[in-house]
Amino acid sequence: MVILYRSIGNRDRLILGGNRVKLIVKKDYESMSQEVANMVKNEIKKNPNLVLGLATGSTPKGLYKELVRMHREEGLDFSNIISFNLDEYIGIKEKDPSSYNYYMREYLFDHINIKDENAFIPPAKPTDLDRACEEYDDLIKGKGGIDLQILGVGENGHIAFNEPDKSLNLGTSIIELTEDTIEVNSRFFESIDEVPRSAISMGIGNIMSAKKIVMLVSGGNKAPIMKKILSEKKVSTEIPASILLLHQDVTFIITEDVLN
């Protein structure tokens, strides 16, 4: 991959159109997870009332495992932390093991001392879809916005469930999932027919309003999309994650296999 970056130890800075984007390349999944967990820990130490934006998918599982360890062994305190998850499938039951609600309890919330009332996930079965989106935006605003947003990326470049399109939503919205995403995410379901066709997702505006953004990327399957994002020096709604390049404090923490 041809990317323009200057190496500073294992910390690299991409120079893209004059904007400096932090790129940290880690040897493997464990060290990537460790690195981002340390970042989260440092932010919590600086601000015990931190508002965290949280992601799901396979990539952040190692981060959550490490945060659980830090809570148990080092007393990392989540009692005043507020969290907002990026997205949820529409129509899925909360107790369905494929729901993001279940995922968050399984991998993080049930094992740390975050208060139930401080951990927000967009509703899977709202009676009024538009109202639910507005309410989620208001909740985020009401808590002062997101301090640190954790992100993964889809193979097609989506962030949260903001799928490639001619235009992207600023606020929380209902999104029709693309066939690509339905297929890729079918690994979390018993069959492809079980994958919900729509989701409720924070918008690009919600994500870009975060004070700090950290994107975790691991695995050779993400190499093609990351190559586009990091080497083409373009921003496009057809690759939603490319918009992060405009953010003033974004760090990509990637594993070496993404560069292959």
Choose, from 118, 137, 158, 185, the residue flagged as catalytic: 158
Tokens for 152?
């993964």
User: Per-residue x/- marks for ligand GLP, 174-213, CB under 6 A?
Assistant: -------x---x----------------------------
Choose, from 156, 169, 180, 257, the residue flagged as catalytic: 156
- Minimum CB separation of residue 91 from ligand GLP in Å reads 15
**Interaction of residue 172 with ligand GLP, rule CB under 6 A:** no
- Do 136 and 202 contact (CB within 8 A), yes or no? yes
Tokens for 134?
């507005």
**Interaction of residue 87 with ligand GLP, rule CB under 6 A:** yes
Bridge pairing between strands 198-201 and 173-176: antiparallel
Tokens for 193?
């027919």
Dist CA 116 CA 4 (whole Å)? 44
**Interaction of residue 62 with ligand GLP, rule CB under 6 A:** no
Dist CA 178 CA 95 (whole Å)? 24
Choose the binding region for ligand GLP from 8-16, 111-119, 154-162, 225-233 (rule: CB under 6 A).
154-162
Output DSSP code: residue 144: T
**Residues 81, 146, 153, 229: which binds ligand GLP (CB under 6 A)?**
153
Task: State which amino acid sits at residue 59.
Answer: T
Bridge pairing between strands 11-16 and 5-8: antiparallel
- Residues of this chain that interact with ligand GLP (CB under 6 A) are 55-59, 86-87, 152-154, 160-161, 181, 185
Which residues are known to be catalytic? 87, 156, 158, 163
